[in-house]
Amino acid sequence: MENKKKVLFFLWSFSLGGGAEKILSTIVSNLDSEKYQIDILEMEHFDKGYEAVPKGVNILKPYKKKSYGRVLDSILWRLRIYFPTLVRNWLIKDEYDIEVSFTIMNPAFPFSKRKEVKKIAWIHGSIEAFLKEEQAHYRNNHFEQLSHVDKIIAISKKTRESIETVYPMFQNKIQTIYNGYDFSTLFEKSAEIAPVTLEKNSICVIGRLEELKGTDRVLEVFKELQTDINDVHLYYIGSGEQENFLKEEVERLQLQDKVHFLGYQKNPYSILKQAKLLLSLSKQEGFSGAVVEAVTLGIPFVSTNVGGALELSNDGQFGEVIETNQEAIDSLKKYITGERKISENYSEFIQQFTIEKQLQQIEELFQSSKEERS
C-alpha cells in the first residue's frame, strides 16, 4: 500500500519495563499495518528487553545505551541539549507524516520543523510539579514543545487538569484519551503457571522500585500494619534504584520472612491474581496500568491520588484512594480481614478501558486534517 502514513513515536526508553512502554506496545500492535508504517525511537536503551511489537514495526537504533561509560554518556547528553537538530538529523530521516512525543517530562526529541507534519504530545503523568521553581527547566522545555504541537493528549482527568493549570494557553489543544488494554492477552497470561506461590493475605506492589513510585513509603506502611495484623505478606514486583536500600531496611526491621522481592517480571499477572490486594503509593502516575490490571483480575487496590486512581476507584467500588499512611493502613486492614471487598461488577466496569475504544480515538486523531485539529 503506497499511501501508508509514516508515523514516528519517540520516548526516553522502550526497554525499561514501564507502563508507558506497555501502552505503546499495545497501540502499535493494534494499529492497522495497511494504513501506517510505524517507527519507534528510544533515546536510551536499558536491559529489560523491548516490549512486543508486530512484524513491520521498526525499533530504531537508540541514541545511547545504559551500558555506555560515564564519559561517553556525558558527551551524548550534552550534544542532545545543545545540538538537538544535529542529533535528530543523525538518528532519523525527516520523512514522517505524524510524529508523537510519548513522554511525561523533559521532551526527549525535537519535532520536525515541517508544517505539514502532524505533531502530537502524549503526556503520561500529571505535571503540577512544573510550577515549582526548581522545575522551571522542565516547564520551559515543555512549553517550547507544546507551542509547536497540534494536539496534547492527556491520559486521565488528573493529567488534563494539571496541563490546564500549568499551560492554560494550550487548553484548546488538549484531548483526553484513556489508555487501552488488551484484556484477552492479560487473561491468557494470568492463566500461566506463576513462578511463585504467594502466601495468604498478600499485598502486591508492581512497578519500578524508586522514590517517585513511593516504594519506600510502602515499607513504612507495611511495618505499621504489622502492629495490627501479623499474618500478612508484602511482595515487590519490580526492580530499581531503591532495591538495595529496601532490602537493607527489611533486614533492619527484621521483616525478611514477610517482605519478598520478586524482581522485574515480564508476566506479573499470574502473580497478581493470587494477591489479596494491590498497593500503590506512587507520587506520580499518568494512569496506573497496575491498578487497571488489578481491577481486571478482580483484585481491589489502595492507592494515592495519582492519575486514574479516582476514575478506577469509582466511588470506592473497586479500590480506595488515600492520602495519609494511617488511611492506607485502615484501608488495607478492611480488605485483608474481608470487611471490604471489590464490587462484583468489576468485569463490566473495566470494559470502558479497552484497546478498541482507544484505537477509535487514535484513528480519528491520525486521520484528521490540520484544520480540524487547530
Indicate whether 285 pLDDT > 50.
Answer: yes
My answer on whether 305 and 338 are in the same domain is: yes
Q: What is the pLDDT at residue 41?
A: 94
Residue 198 lies in domain: 183-352
What average pLDDT does the structure give for the chain?
A: 91
Q: What is the pLDDT at residue 1?
A: 46
My answer on whether 196 and 289 are in the same domain is: yes
My answer on whether 193 and 92 are in the same domain is: no
My answer on whether 282 and 300 are in the same domain is: yes
| DSSP line for 111-176 | PPS-TTSEEEEEE-S--GGGGSGGGHHHHHHHHHHHTT-SEEEESSHHHHHHHHHH-GGGGGGEEE
Domain count, the chain: 2
Q: pTM score, two decimals? A: 0.76
By percentage, how much of the chain surpasses pLDDT 90? Answer: 66
My answer on whether 262 and 318 are in the same domain is: yes
Convert the pLDDT of each residue in 130-145 to its tens digit: 899 988 888 988 899 9
Residue at 73: amino acid letter: D
Q: Cell numbers 522551571 correspond to what residue?
A: 136
My answer on whether 297 and 321 are in the same domain is: yes
My answer on whether 168 and 189 are in the same domain is: no
Cα–chain-centroid distance for residue 278?
A: 16
Backbone dihedral angles phi then psi of residue 130, each to the nearest 5 degrees: -60, -20
Convert the pLDDT of each residue in 33-75 to its tens digit: 999 999 999 988 887 778 889 999 999 999 988 777 788 888 9
68 vs 31, higher pLDDT = 31
Convert the pLDDT of each residue in 177-196 to its tens digit: 999 888 998 999 999 999 99
> What are the C-alpha distances in Å from 93 to residues 10, 83, 86?
13, 16, 12
Q: What is the pLDDT at residue 67?
A: 74
My answer on whether 337 and 226 are in the same domain is: yes
My answer on whether 135 and 243 are in the same domain is: no
| SS3 (DSSP) at 235 | strand
My answer on whether 169 and 309 are in the same domain is: no
Indicate whether 372 pLDDT > 60.
Answer: no
Indicate whether 286 pLDDT > 80.
Answer: no
Indicate whether 97 pLDDT > 90.
Answer: yes
Average pLDDT of span 330-355: 94
Q: What is the pLDDT at residue 359?
A: 94
My answer on whether 211 and 95 are in the same domain is: no
- Which CATH number do you get for residue 236? 3.40.50.2000
Residue 154 pLDDT grade (very low, low, confident, very high; cuts 50, 70, 90): very high
My answer on whether 307 and 187 are in the same domain is: yes
Indicate whether 2 pLDDT > 80.
Answer: no
